[in-house]
């Protein structure tokens, strides 16, 4: 047979491409449930790592079911908030039907459009609440994202975890691989005063006295800039919520404890309660309390 004639060539390539496409489509369909279960467990293990329940290395040894169970055991509530920080919808946390708001790409667009549905995952650890929120943005080669854990009144970061799709191994990928990078977020705080730049990843070293800045990674300037922009966008979107939590905590302290005990007492109150009776006109004086 003459394999060089035009008709044969066209038919042959068409058939090969169709077969290849069919194989890929079948493989993708057959493997999709498993892949999505993996992605869900991965997302949850990133949150658990940020919240300090376990380390990513330990969770990597767990099966998906164990990770889901660990999540379900430790989560208190998960819900969505709108751009003003008001709760709009509950997320299911039962182990068999865990709901996550993991389409961060879509929410990233919604933040820009002004109508986001942002998730807040409230874990309970040693009697205290830990609020975990995500962030998402563009790195150098693809998306970068992460989870940031706040203490009960959202005034201090207690942990963070970052991930990426395709940053350069050994350079940009260090946002995930280097533990020191995420460790330096601990004890930092979000700068409520500057909602346009609430957090900074600073090339050349962050000033030691600035509690809302951390060091960038050498050789990963573009990735760090992308992550910085992601943090700014997402934290700015969360500021109304974070401020309400902070304000509610101050109010609770003033009502129920003596000033001296405030630092020690565990705020195990329901956060809804806080939402309902705090209004924006209280903000200023509460803020002073908190800083003083």
Smallest distance, Å, CB 107 to other proteins? 22
* Spatial distance between the Cα atoms of 90 and 88, rounded to a whole number of angstroms: 7
Q: What are 107's two structure tokens?
A: 């929410």
Residue 66 engages other proteins in binding (rule: CB under 8 A)? no
Bridge partners for 172 per DSSP? none
Smaller CB separation from other proteins, 31 or 256: 31
CB atoms within 10 A of CB 220: 25
Smaller CB separation from other proteins, 30 or 263: 30
DSSP state of 259: G
From candidates 55, 58, 60, 69, binder to other proteins by CB under 8 A: 60
Smaller CB separation from other proteins, 116 or 143: 143
From 23-31, 66-74, 87-95, 180-188, give the range in contact with other proteins by CB under 8 A: 23-31
Distances (CA, A) of 212 to 16, 250, 290: 56, 20, 16
Instruction: Map tokens 């705020």 to a residue.
Output: 267
Residue 9 engages other proteins in binding (rule: CB under 8 A)? yes
Q: What are 234's two structure tokens?
A: 């997402």
Task: Answer yes or no: are the C-beta atoms of 130 and 120 closer than 8 Å.
Answer: no
Smallest distance, Å, CB 48 to other proteins? 15
Where does this chain bind other proteins (CB under 8 A)?
Answer: 3-4, 8-9, 12-13, 16-17, 20, 23-24, 27-28, 31, 34-35, 38-39, 42, 60, 141, 165-166, 168-170
């Amino acid at each position: 047979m003459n394999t060089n004639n035009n008709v044969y060539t066209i038919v042959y390539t068409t058939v090969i491409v169709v077969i290849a496409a069919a194989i890929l489509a079948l493989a993708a369909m057959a493997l999709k449930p498993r892949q999505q279960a993996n992605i869900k467990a991965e997302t949850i293990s990133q949150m658990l790592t940020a919240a300090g329940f376990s380390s990513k290395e330990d969770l990597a040894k767990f099966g998906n079911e164990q990770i889901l169970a660990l999540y379900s055991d430790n989560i208190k509530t998960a819900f969505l908030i709108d751009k003003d920080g008001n709760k709009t919808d509950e997320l299911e946390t039962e182990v068999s039907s865990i709901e996550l708001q993991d389409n961060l790409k879509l929410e990233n667009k919604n933040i820009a459009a002004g109508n986001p549905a942002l998730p807040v995952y409230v874990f309970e650890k040693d009697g205290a609440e830990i609020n975990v929120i995500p962030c998402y943005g563009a790195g150098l080669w693809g998306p970068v994202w992460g989870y940031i854990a706040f203490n009960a009144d959202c005034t201090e970061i207690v942990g963070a975890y970052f991930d990426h799709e395709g940053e350069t191994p050994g350079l940009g990928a260090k946002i995930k691989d280097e533990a020191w990078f995420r460790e330096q977020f601990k004890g930092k705080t979000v700068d409520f005063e500057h909602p346009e730049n609430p957090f900074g990843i600073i090339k050349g070293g962050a000033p030691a006295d600035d509690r809302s800045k951390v060091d960038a990674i050498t050789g990963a300037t573009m990735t760090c800039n992308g992550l910085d922009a992601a943090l700014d966008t997402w934290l700015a979107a969360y500021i109304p919520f974070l401020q309400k939590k902070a304000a509610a905590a101050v109010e609770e302290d003033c009502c129920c404890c003596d000033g001296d005990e405030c630092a020690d007492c565990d705020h195990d109150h329901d956060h809804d309660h806080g939402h309902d009776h705090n209004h924006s006109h209280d903000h200023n004086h509460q803020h002073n309390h908190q800083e003083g």
